[in-house]
Chain A
Amino acid sequence: MILTTATAIGLMGLACGGALALAARFLSVREDPRVERAAELLPGANCGGCGYAGCADYAKAIVLEGAAINLCAPGGGEVIGKIAQLMGVEAAAAERKVALVLCGGDSGNAPRRFAYNGVADCRAAHAVDGGDKQCRYGCLGYGSCARVCPVGAIEITAGGLAVVHPGVCIGCGACVKACPRSLIRMVPVSRTIHVLCSSRDKGPIVKQACKVGCIGCTLCAKLADNGAIAMDGFLAVVDYDKELTNEAVVEKCPGKCIVQRSMEGATA
């Protein structure tokens, strides 16, 4: 009885296995082996920063559609180099970039101007009466950026300010698109001096709205060497392509919005 059952099941198994083997042989889809190799080389975070639907999709695009090989920010120079080798092309090295929220207005610095009651999403809050922060350019702190971050690198502090942890950030850029006030900027990891303000309002208005806002005094632009900080209207903007060595801008800033902060950190 048991023997019959065992034989029957065993034969069925053999038959199925054989069929599968034949199918794998004769019915298999011919695929360029480089697609699989490229997918292995990519970090596998599936963050979508490259603009494709995950690493496997990007790998296929690189090999079969000739997509640019330097779109993977989390992978960085190392991965780009290896893929360049695989595809037999030149690699363009780029410095790793991480996200930085250009705002320092937490509840201690930047007051709210009304009690907002509604969807706890920055885009939604921004649409209701212009957002509940006195500063109409500042971080609303409802976490839209934190929610899209694939690696949880963004923290909304107790004071309601979004802060990126550079060591965790993989540089995919999803948060940049999520912020309705375009507060997040991708900065090279080597840069340490940053203007943490995005307010384009005139000085007196900024002073009422935030304790650490840029008042447009242009002192930093003058102090910074080789134009590393330039004025865009009433806002000081750092040009990260240039090297900024005059660290005096940090103490001299009357608005207290320039900080010295390392973008390095243990990579994820």
Chain B
Amino acid sequence: MKTLRSSFKVPGGVHPDYRKQATRDKPVQVMPLPALLRVSMAQHMGAPAVPTVKKGAVVARGEVIGKAAGFISAAVHAPTSGTVKGIVDAPTAGGAVAPAVEIEPDGRDRWTDSLKARPDWRNAEAGELVAMAAAAGIAGMGGAGFPTHVKLSPPPDKPIDTLIVNGAECEPCLTADHRLMIEHADAIREGACIIRHILGARTLRVAVEDNKPEAVAAMEKALGGVEGDVAVVVLKTEYPQGAEKQQIYAITGREVPSGGLPMDVGALVENVGTCMAIRDAVVDGRPLTERVTTVTGTPLARPGNVLARLGTSYADLAGFCGGLMSPAAKVISGGPMMGLAQHSLDVTTSKTTSGLLFLSPDEVEAFTSLPCISCGRCVEACPAYLMPCEISRMVEAEDWEAAGWYDVMDCIECGCCAFECPARRPLVQHMRQGKAWIMAKRREQREKG
């Protein structure tokens, strides 16, 4: 086990005000069960799950309430024992509406035993462990929500030799992963080793930013006895140091090809939370039913890191943290750079809710955009080496082919460009428009030919 100090600088990148002081030293608090849980079927990338329970059903914690629909999909489980009040159409953090199972907790929190634990996972076949991850409904908890069992099944011609555990947490304000590493380093280690065993990866790296020295120390200690090419990599604090492709490049020197996936260069990245969830599923036989969310913001009375069941409403989360002392102008699910702004606190937590951020009116202003002044700050800041100002111009002119020529599809939507733009142009929104148009065109062509 070694500790590597990386001097890697993210190409471009920005230094926002990190504002982690409010919650970085607050241990994770377990939130008591709320009166109602609304568990969405669309908590992951891919097709939403299909509800498997009806109104009135009595469910145990960890029981399947939604089954995966298709290859890229994930199962959804009851976060606690109780009665199903109904299947409703509920808004998700992204604004879409998806079916959700409403459960009224009975307070007993009885677990199901449908998922058999495998504490001796070192003797298990990779296939069996991947099936357990699927049965546990695990999806990427860093924010993307990609079904983990799919990620852990690369095709045989793309072997993975490097597993990277992502503990960078580069988003300002968020400290959930930071606390997980401090408080559950051993669990994360075990989860990482399980994944390494599944993939047969030779190299294991745990990436942490240098603004989390306690987490670095905790992971160093936890990884002490692990055999083989194992290291904690301390990355310079910069946004977006946690971006998957850039992190792979930082640690292995390999660039994921444009339009490709990390497995194309023999690497795989998993969030620390996902590692822990894998461990809970394999070692304890527990499907994914809860996650740590950083609930923070100036209007909030008691910001903290909250371990809450999936399906907890944002209103209840805020209530557990003392409620709002002053009005919030903006509510964000996630962090300030890539998070989704919300219009209602009725939305519930999902597998990917890493943060809930409340911004006060003086931290937020409705912006008006000016025309681009070609200052070039966006070009400097882009971690994917794009020219956001040019793409934005093409999108505004609706010249979609030109936007594609300027590689809009390689945009990782990190927000560095819009963060820097003095003309307050809605660059990320333009990127999304360009991508949407190109994907629609590709779909059209696939259907035609």
Contact = CB atoms under 8 A, between A and B. Distances in A.
Q: Is there a direct interface between A and B, measured as CB atoms under 8 Å apart in the complex?
A: yes
Interface of A: 113-115, 117-119, 121, 123-124, 127-132, 136
Given A130-B91, A130-B95, A118 B340 contact: no
Interface string B387-412: 00000000000000000000000000
Nearest to A117: B366
Interface string B421-449: 00000100110110010000000000000
B372 to A, nearest CB: 14
Interface of B: 91, 94-97, 340-344, 366-367, 426, 429-430, 432-433, 436
A136 B97 contact: yes
Contacts of B343: 113-114, 129, 132
B429 A128 contact: yes
Q: Interface of chain A, helix or strand or loop or mixed?
A: loop
Contacts of A117: 366-367
Nearest to A114: B343
Given A128-B95, A129-B342, A129-B343, A123 B433 contact: yes
**Which of A115, A119, A128, A129: most chain B Cβ within 10 A?**
A129
Contact of A129 (B341, B426, B433, B436): B341
A178 to B, nearest CB: 10
Nearest to A125: B429
Contacts of A114: 343
Given A127-B432, A129-B343, 12 more contacts: A113-B343, A114-B343, A118-B426, A119-B426, A124-B429, A124-B432, A124-B433, A127-B436, A129-B95, A130-B94, A130-B97, A131-B95
**Which of B96, B340, B341: most chain A Cβ within 10 A?**
B341
12 contacts: A113-B343, A114-B343, A117-B366, A117-B367, A118-B429, A119-B426, A124-B426, A124-B432, A124-B433, A127-B433, A128-B341, A129-B94
Contacts of A119: 426, 429-430, 433
A132 B342 CA distance: 11
A170 to B, nearest CB: 21
B204 to A, nearest CB: 39
A128 B97 CA distance: 13
A117 B359 CA distance: 15
A78 B344 CA distance: 54
Contacts of B432: 124, 127
B95 A123 contact: no
Contact of B96 (A113, A121, A130): A130
Contacts of B94: 129-130
A123 B436 contact: yes
